[in-house]
A and B are shown apart, each in its own frame.
Chain A
Amino acid sequence: MQATQHAAHTGNHDDESHGHHPTGLMRWVTTTNHKDIGSMYLWFSFIMFLVGGAMSLIIRGELLAPGLQYVSPEFYNQMLTLHALIMVFGAIMPAFVGFANWMIPMMIGAPDMAFARMNNWSFWLLPPAAILLVASMFVPGGAAGTGWTLYPPLSIQMGMGMDLTIFAVHILGMSSIMGSINIITTILNMRAPGMTLMKMPLFCWTWLVTGFLLIASMPILAGAVTMLLTDRHFGTSFFSAAGGGDPVLFQHIFWFFGHPEVYIIALPAFGVVSHVIPAFSRKHLFGYTSMVYAIAAIGLISFFVWAHHMYVTGIPLTGQLYFMYATMLIAIPTGVKVFNWITTMWRGSLSFETPMLFALGFLVLFTIGGLTGLVLAMTAVDIQLQDTYYVVAHFHYVMVAGALFSAYAGLYFWLPKWTGHMYHEGLGKLHFWSSMIFFNIAFFPQHFLGLAGMPRRIPDYAQQFADFNLISTVGAFGFGISQLLVLVVVFKAVKGGAKAESRPWDGAHGLEWTVPSPAPYHTFEEPPAFDPAEAHA
């Protein structure tokens, strides 16, 4: 996306400082520039978002009416598995790594990421992993049809598509770990003089904690899938009772990764929103210190609540009680964050450009998802709702609304900085409103389906669930089509449009807004002067 701008803007500069610079495809293959790599992460994530989205429409299409209409139950299971894996590992996580690559060096006044070559490698691991995942559909037996949770013994029964999935997860894990090491090192070592940790932009704080969560949790997932692999092919019995193992052991290991994963996705989203809301409220972020503590608390507690995904697996009563109380505890720091954002808006001077609309959409929908999470935390109620559409609704409010809406807030917020052009505001607002309305049509009725007892991961359902499913499918298709608008907006902004100033938003503060728009290929080759009074904006 940046190719033309960079070439035009920075051609001479490049030649001076680095001699020859590959062009064409090799530029992208060999680049060590954080902006190039950030753009590649974002484009990769958007492509994966479209692939995963198409799969979700196959799922919703099949659920349009009772009866089996378009796909077989086996293929349906493969779709729901790949949809989740691609969205979590291919779309959401790379999107926020893309933001981190683009923005963290510019926010802290660093010339690039700490390990520029490793940065290239951690991106280029992603396409092979994505190819393995997508290719698993075409091998004998098809893709894994186990759900993204890959529970054995079902995953032991799967064909070689399961092995491809395991390798894809390994590669994605390596990429995430390298990305995290890079981000943590950059944040800890390369801040501009005078920018102490507690003066650092909040997006950097969320990524610092996320980086540690990734380093601590991804190897655990890698271990879990490796044990699956050896159970499948090398005669071990980690998860088979017949050989002295336990299928539920896998669930403990998986969710010990899986729950921090939820915050790996959510924390950077919190970071983005903590920049957008103050900018469009023209006010400082309220309670910066408590925000930092809340982020750290959420990150820490996220490792102690994993078995709330496993209330019906037969864990003991004392275990259920402990995990219930620990889970309820997360509501406190999460509440603090929501209150801080709203108080940031309070008595501000608000305007509602697209980034702010998406941030507010995030705030409303993420709060709904958080509150239904509180309902699900109660073990007794969760036993009724576990594995029903209530859970599906809950985590889509957290994931789509929490992560995707905030990613869009970030995209519209920083697009002028990246392209040097303002995006089309009307199209941006249309994108927001259609997303907001269709998202709720698609997912709100799923709460009712779950309460009435419709299980998740079924390709066909009893007739009393028909009406809400129809509504949900209509909403899903509307939501899917709305997402193509963002492609139009980005292409228009890359090609042209009103010239963006270096600080296109009058309420935005921070070092990233001191460089011209589009940001030059190389920024902050000399450490900038950091004004502590400008911090926390």
Chain B
Amino acid sequence: MGGEMARYTNKNSDVSRLRHGSVGLLMAGLLGTLSGVANAAWEISLQEPVTAVARRVYDLHTLLTWVIFIIFIGVFAVATYSIIFHRKSKGHKAADFHDNTTVEIAWTVVPTLILIAIAVPATTTLVEMRDTSQPDLTIKATGYQWKWGYEYITGDAAGVKYMSVLATPRDQIENKAPKGANYLLEVDRPMVVPVGKKVRMLLTSSDVIHNWSVPAFAVKADAVPGFLRDTWFRADKEGTYRGQCSELCGKDHGFMPVVVEVVSTEKYAAWVEGQKKEMAAAADDPSKVWKLDELVARGEKVYTANCAACHQPNGKGLPPAFPGLDGSKIAKGPKEAHLDIVIKGKPGTAMAGYGAQLGDTDIAAVVAYERNAWTNKLGEVIQPAEVKARRGK
């Protein structure tokens, strides 16, 4: 994220480079020893903005940083003078004064004026940030523990929906393999939007509070379960922009990135076309009767994508917060109860209901997998029709 984009490889306007330069200079001055280090890993300011709003935020931050820097230098120049010249060891005798109404009024009024001056750009920027009216397309992002679901509500892609899951392999996280360039900031299916279009994001969550954040757009909004929030952006440059969940949401909070691909209008149209075809092809025949081995094979995929984070690939779970399924009462008990807990979840625990996220076939497959994997060799087949029958019970 900061990596690729802020390395200034993309030839942006001079204004933006100036912007980087000024804050860079200031921050480098503050840090002293790190001045002149141009490595991307030493980023010391906000990521390069790619929306008009993010540029305003960037400029506002630069302005504020200068203001506080100057105040700090001014105030401590006085203190430093005093520390150097008003020392007892130099024989300085203490003066006796302890009140002065004029200076006290001055140092109340002057900061007030400074505050009013910076309140003006702060207010106008904020008003612009909150104006979600007249979007070109609307996308709903739903936070799940621990992935994002995207659903295109309006626009050409209306109806397209999918999950977006961390793509970084486990081996890289556990230091068993070298880390890739976008370590922890890569997903299997990014959100795709057209360049230059006003995108309104609707945010909600299915379990706990998450936060959908993309620094390059200056977008950060909580996804609150049971409520819809909205925000917006209009990216004016093609590229891949990365952010992360920004509200502690449980054990894999650090592992649910947000990736947005901004593409040209043509590419976007092609992507929409592809998505629609894919969805049509992937639609399951609800009356199909499945055999055990094909069901279990599909179930394993569903399990890996949805269940393995908590219940673990070996079915042992991480007890007691995340119970094991291998040999468990539910996975070896009556299948109705097993289906119910998968569809509706278990209140008061991290077990979410998957009824809304997964189709009948996927639920049938994953329950069949859980009842036949590891030591749970029940040999049971569960058909999509049975799942459909359990819904609403």
Contact = CB atoms under 8 A, between A and B. Distances in A.
Interface in A384-407: 384, 386-388
Nearest to A289: B99
Contact of B89 (A152, A351, A368, A451): A351
B115 A462 contact: no
Interface residues of A, number: 102
Nearest to B227: A241
B72 A371 contact: yes
Contacts of A286: 97-100
A331 B115 contact: yes
Interface stretch (B10-18, B119-127, B271-279, B324-332): B119-127
B108 A336 contact: yes
Contacts of B173: 67-68, 460
Interface stretch (A47-55, A93-101, A263-271, A373-381): A373-381
Interface in A44-73: 66-69, 72-73
Given A287-B98, A351-B89, A247 B64 contact: no
B321 A154 contact: no
Given A74-B321, A324-B122, A242 B226 contact: yes
A73 B56 contact: no
Interface string A9-29: 000000000000000000000
Contact of B68 (A240, A374, A453): A374
Nearest to B175: A67
Contacts of A387: 211, 213, 220, 246-247
B225 A314 contact: no
B359 to A, nearest CB: 23
Contact of B244 (A141, A240, A455): A455
Contacts of A287: 98-100, 104
Nearest to A468: B42
B87 interface: yes
B44 A452 contact: yes
A375 B221 contact: no
B47 A452 contact: yes
Given A232-B348, A241-B225, A346-B78, A141 B122 contact: no
Nearest to B71: A371
B349 interface: yes
Contacts of B98: 283-288, 536
B248 A147 contact: yes
B96 interface: yes
A73 B64 contact: no
A335 B111 contact: yes
A331 B320 CA distance: 47
B182 A335 contact: no
Overall SS of chain A's interface: helix
A463 B246 contact: no
Interface residues of B, number: 105
Nearest to A243: B226
A281 interface: yes
A115 interface: no
A523 interface: no
Interface string B246-284: 111111111100000000000000000000000000000
Contact of A371 (B39, B68, B225): B68
B86 A153 contact: no
Given A247-B209, A381-B64, A459-B254, A351 B245 contact: no
B172 interface: yes
Contact of A346 (B31, B82, B318): B82
B22 to A, nearest CB: 14
Contact of B251 (A73, A290, A348): A73
A467 interface: yes
B148 to A, nearest CB: 15
A153 B61 CA distance: 33
A339 B254 CA distance: 42
A459 B250 CA distance: 11
Contacts of B245: 455
B72 A453 contact: no
Which one of B112, B185, B255, B348 has the greatest number of beta carbons of chain A within 10 Å?
Answer: B348
A336 B57 contact: no
B350 interface: yes
A384 B320 contact: no
Of B46, B129, B218, the most chain A CB neighbours within 10 A belong to B46
15 contacts: A67-B173, A68-B175, A72-B251, A141-B321, A335-B111, A349-B92, A360-B83, A371-B68, A383-B219, A453-B2, A453-B47, A455-B254, A460-B173, A463-B183, A467-B41
Give 8 nearest A-B pairs by CB, closest first: A241-B226, A458-B254, A371-B68, A314-B229, A284-B98, A452-B43, A347-B95, A349-B94
